[in-house]
Structures are given as C-alpha cells and as structure tokens.
A = this chain, B = another copy of it.
Amino acid sequence: MFGRLSEEEAGTLLAEKGVGRLGCVVDGGPYVVPINYHLENGSVYSHSLPGLKISALRSNPRACLQVDEIASDLQWRSVLAFGNFEEITNSTERAEVLNKLLQRHPMLTPVESTIVQDGAPPPVIVFRIRIDRITGIAEK
C-alpha cells in the first residue's frame, strides 16, 4: 500500500543512510548525482571535487537530497529533503566534517583522507544542505 511517511519516519531513514542522490538545477534543468553524506543537526554534510554540480549550486543554492531503501518494486521507502547549499570554508569546520564523513565512509579516496590528516586547503569542496523541508513516501 502506497502512503506518506511522517516527518519523523522520513528523518530516521535520512539519518540511517549515508548515500543519496543530490538534485540541483543546471541551466534551468534538473541535475542529479550520487553523494556520500552525514546528517547532523538538521543539515546534510558532504564534499565534492569542483565541477558542474558545485558551480550550479554556487549560482542557485536550492538543492534536494533523495534517499531511499528499495527492497522490491512493492516494498520501498523514499525520502526527499530540501534545503539550501552552503559552502564550508573555515578550516577547522572543514576538518571536522571530513573526519565525520570518513568515519561513516572509511573508503573515501586518498586525496580526501590526506586533507583530513594535514588540514590542507581545497580543491575538495565541503558543504552542507541546511534542510528546511522533508517529505517521504512508501510502498509496503
């Protein structure tokens, strides 16, 4: 049966998972890429190399993160969290975020691991999506 998740159920799924699909708008059209993330205090934290997604989000910060758990065509849950992209440039905060991502995703690439260790500056972009709305649907 198809139905809506409560905000609490949606938030729980978002907190449990660590991989989602980030949506943004590029040239007026949709753009979606998989990301690793870490949820804390109502924000989704993640990182990225420079590229189309980051350029787009700097120009139009509206973003969404879609996270799901699909057991079968008839048994799945999907959450959609909306919010604004905010770049994190403070080196202490960057290191904290990258360390938490590394705890959650121990296989992050060596480039990123290096940054965590020596606190070196970009190229890696660290950012949060400050969630202002969350919805969820399920088939079960």
A residues whose Cβ falls under 8 Å from a Cβ of B: 2, 19, 21, 23-25, 28-34, 36, 49, 60, 62-64, 66, 68, 70, 72-74, 76, 78, 80, 82, 105-109, 137, 139
Q: Are A80 and B23 in contact (CB under 8 A)?
A: no
Question: What is the count of identical protomers in the complex?
Answer: 2
B contact residues around A78 at 8 Å (CB): 33-34
In Å, the complex CA distance between A19 and B75 comes to 13
B contact residues around A30 at 8 Å (CB): 23-25, 30-32, 62-64
In Å, the complex CA distance between A107 and B24 comes to 31
B contact residues around A29 at 8 Å (CB): 25, 62-64, 82
